[in-house]
């Protein structure tokens, strides 16, 4: 089977591609080819099957159609998005990529008339507002960012397109993924990785919230496992809503810093500078921190066992020694 990853140049797309190359199969069938698409064509990848890397702007409907018609993937990972901070700063771009772009992907999948599996990465940014906590599987989505709004609207379409048999959608609401490798980005949550990543790599980092700030986290390693598992689930097990929150863990920044100290000692902890940033706080304080992801747990998804584990995964999988 052929697999397409939209957003294949991003850090999750790249890790997912490597995971597919390592496991060689998906949904009980051998992976015969992989297509990685992103705004700029992603870098090539060693794999036991052909890997094609293409440039694609998902806001261009005809280009999305052309790629899907040419490749006819059986599984489509739609990870392409403008991140939260940028979607808040550039509203029209966020709408074009995150909502219209997603619809272009779903329409192109529909046009295949083969009911392809579409794994869509949504986000816990869909939650907010006046709802009881913990967040349950039936809690209303009331996003307090444009990014969350666009993800929530795309989720609704994914479920309806699935109900109609246009595609076989699975929308996974990702916790904040920590510790992300690479560089800081314009996600408002970016600091939640950089305050661990940069100090572990010998650099300073700024924490814009206090140690009492609580949030919901998942490691990149478990996230990739979840993306694989999301494709492999039986459609019949998904019920009336194709979109749900993934398991994670609630940690305070203070407890996470203690985990850092436990795993890596005093030196990286001393490299964190605490500087409150009201613009970032305005976004992240509207996010929810406590979840009961019963549906995902019943479907066999799993979170991390402790934040020490997240730190160790980063050291094993992603540490880049300082230049």
Question: Which tokens hold the place of 20?
Answer: 């597919």
When the beta carbons of 158 and 264 are compared against a copy of itself, the nearer one is 158
Query: CB of 229: closest distance to a copy of itself in angstroms?
Result: 20
Q: What are phi and psi of 164, to 5 degrees?
A: -80, -5
- Omega cis (within 30) before 15: no
Query: CB of 17: closest distance to a copy of itself in angstroms?
Result: 31
When the beta carbons of 141 and 246 are compared against a copy of itself, the nearer one is 141
Residues 6+ apart with CB under 8 A from 178: 192, 193, 196, 217, 218, 219, 256, 310
Question: What Rg, from alpha-carbon coordinates, does the chain have?
Answer: 19
Query: CB of 218: closest distance to a copy of itself in angstroms?
Result: 21
Query: CB of 153: closest distance to a copy of itself in angstroms?
Result: 4
- Omega cis (within 30) before 297: no
Query: CB of 154: closest distance to a copy of itself in angstroms?
Result: 9
Q: How far apart are CA 106 and CA 313, in angstroms?
A: 34
Vertex 227 angle, CA 226 and 232, to 5° = 90
Per the annotation, the verdict on 147 as an active-site residue is yes
When the beta carbons of 4 and 187 are compared against a copy of itself, the nearer one is 187
Q: How far apart are CA 102 and CA 50, in angstroms?
A: 26
When the beta carbons of 140 and 297 are compared against a copy of itself, the nearer one is 140
Catalytic site residue from 77, 127, 147, 161: 147
When the beta carbons of 103 and 180 are compared against a copy of itself, the nearer one is 103
Binding site for a copy of itself (CB under 8 A): 91, 128-132, 137-144, 146, 149, 152-153, 156-157, 159-160, 163-164, 239-241
Residues 6+ apart with CB under 8 A from 71: 2, 4, 33, 35, 52
Name the residues annotated as catalytic: 147
């Amino acid at each position: 089977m052929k697999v397409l990853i939209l957003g294949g140049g991003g850090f999750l797309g790249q890790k997912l591609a490597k995971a597919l190359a390592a496991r060689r199969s998906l949904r009980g069938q051998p992976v015969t080819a992989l297509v990685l698409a992103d705004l700029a064509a992603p870098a090539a990848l060693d794999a036991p099957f052909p890997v094609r890397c293409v440039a694609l702007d998902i806001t261009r409907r005809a280009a999305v159609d052309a790629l899907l018609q040419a490749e006819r993937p059986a599984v489509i990972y739609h990870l392409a998005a403008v991140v939260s901070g940028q979607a808040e700063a550039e509203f029209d771009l966020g709408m074009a990529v995150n909502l219209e772009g997603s619809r272009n992907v779903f329409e192109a999948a529909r046009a295949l008339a083969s009911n392809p599996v579409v794994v869509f990465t949504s986000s816990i940014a869909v939650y907010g507002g006046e709802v009881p906590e913990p967040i349950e599987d039936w809690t209303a989505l009331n996003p307090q960012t444009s990014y969350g709004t666009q993800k929530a609207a795309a989720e609704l379409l994914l479920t309806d397109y699935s109900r109609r048999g246009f595609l076989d959608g699975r929308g996974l609401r990702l916790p904040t993924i920590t510790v992300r490798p690479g560089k800081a980005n314009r996600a408002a949550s970016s600091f939640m990785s950089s305050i661990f990543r940069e100090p572990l790599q010998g650099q300073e980092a700024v924490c814009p919230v206090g140690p009492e700030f609580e949030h919901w986290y998942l490691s990149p390693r478990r996230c990739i496992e979840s993306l694989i598992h999301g494709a492999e689930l039986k459609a019949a097990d998904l019920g009336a809503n194709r979109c749900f929150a993934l398991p994670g863990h609630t940690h305070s920044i203070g407890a996470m810093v203690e985990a850092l100290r436990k795993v890596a000692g005093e030196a990286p902890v001393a490299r964190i500078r605490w500087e409150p940033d009201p613009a970032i706080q305005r976004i992240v304080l509207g996010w929810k921190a406590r979840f009961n992801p019963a549906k995902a747990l019943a479907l066999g998804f799993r979170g991390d066992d402790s934040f020490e584990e997240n730190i160790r995964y980063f050291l094993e999988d992603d540490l880049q020694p300082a230049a």
